[in-house]
Amino acid sequence: MYESCASRNIKIEWIKFIQSKADQISKEEPLRNAIIDSLGMIDEPQVDAFQLLLTIFDIVKPTANDLKRLLNMLKENKKFISTLDRNDQLMQRFAKLLNDFAKDDVTRAQMRLVPIYTIALKLNALRPRNMLLFPVLEKMIIVDNVYETLYQMQAAVFLMNKKALSSKTAEGVLKRMSQMKSQGDIITRIRLFNQSLTLEQALLEANLVTLQNNYALIKENLNNPNARQVLSNLAVIMGFPPHIIKEDLEFIKKTLTDYIQQGNNNSYMSLLKGFSYNFVMKEKLTYIPFIKEIVNNFNTFSPKMPYTDVLDCLHVFSRIGVRNPSIYNLIIEVMKKNYLNFLLILIDFL
């Protein structure tokens, strides 16, 4: 069926056939399983074949089990992920299918986070600005499933690093973590707590005490002789509200200057992703010394950066309002070293 659908006329005939058998297909799960499984048997997945399956799902509404079967097949097949990534219209249809399910409390509870998270990670590795699954991923994070709590935390951190995690979802993940026997590491909990605050909440007295206590704990960790630990804690400090860190700006700046070049690409990216967009935009002057230091060290780490990290730098620099033309010229030079990836990135960014 799928291998023949490159022909427009044959594809139309298949759609007519599915329409004529819609009632039967909707009642027989083995038949729907066969339709999904046959897509996975194609040696070279094509956009037309994937489009046909989504059209079938438009005619015959899939169940949660149908989606689980499709997602499990996709997450294990790199060629299907690549096919999704190559075609924006296909990716939009696929994301809409999942989003429609995730909107409903009943159907969302029947789905699982892990395959969606896995597919989102693989798509991100191909094209970091492909964010169409992020709203679905965020909805799945709040599902009450004790077996997926660890993955919910990991997915929340992933979205937080992508500046795509809402304060409400961060708060929900924190509550879930507090109910676990193992509540995760202190850095993750503090980052999620900072993310859960709106600008107004950060000034409330109850949160102020917690913020001050958390900051004191992280600041104490800056005395650690291990440079990796210092940089990890500095990345957390970047996400605190301005009124919490204002008195220690010189100390934080000096520590950042002393240690940043002792880190690696991962520590550099953690520092960059540590900023809270809302807090930076609220009081940018507080964060400018840190932003400048990170921008000035881009050239130190960029030679070993994968292109996905280079694009993340471009995205964060532009989002937090870096206006230095030289840093963008440097980013372009780095991307040009891999010409094919450069073209893909430039098209994606524009």
Q: What percent of the chain has pLDDT over 90?
A: 43
How far is C-alpha 123 from the geometric centre of its chain's CA atoms?
Answer: 10
pLDDT confidence of residue 342: 54
Find the range with the poorest average confidence among 31-40, 54-63, 310-319: 31-40
Sign of CA dihedral 118, 121, 127, 133: positive
What DSSP state is assigned to residue 255?
Answer: H
Average pLDDT over residues 303-313: 87
DSSP 103-140: HSHHHHHHS-HHHHHHHHHHHHHH-TT--TTHHHHHHH
Find the range with the poorest average confidence among 108-122, 134-148, 300-314: 134-148
Q: Between these two residues, 285 and 179, which has the higher pLDDT value? A: 285
pLDDT for 349 beyond 50: no
Average pLDDT over residues 36-49: 75
Contact between 215 and 181 under an 8 Å Cβ cutoff? The reply is no
pLDDT for 13 beyond 80: no
Find the range with the poorest average confidence among 9-18, 22-31, 262-271: 9-18
pLDDT for 4 beyond 60: no
Q: Between these two residues, 130 and 212, which has the higher pLDDT value? A: 212
3-state SS, 282-347, equals: HCHHHHHHHHHHHHHCHHHHHHHCCHHHHHHHHHHHHHCCCCCHHHHHHHHHHHHCCHHHHHHHHH
pLDDT confidence of residue 201: 79
pLDDT confidence of residue 11: 64
pLDDT, averaged across the chain: 86
Average pLDDT over residues 268-276: 94
pLDDT for 69 beyond 70: yes
Average pLDDT over residues 153-175: 91
pLDDT confidence of residue 240: 95
pLDDT confidence of residue 96: 93
Q: Between these two residues, 310 and 128, which has the higher pLDDT value? A: 310
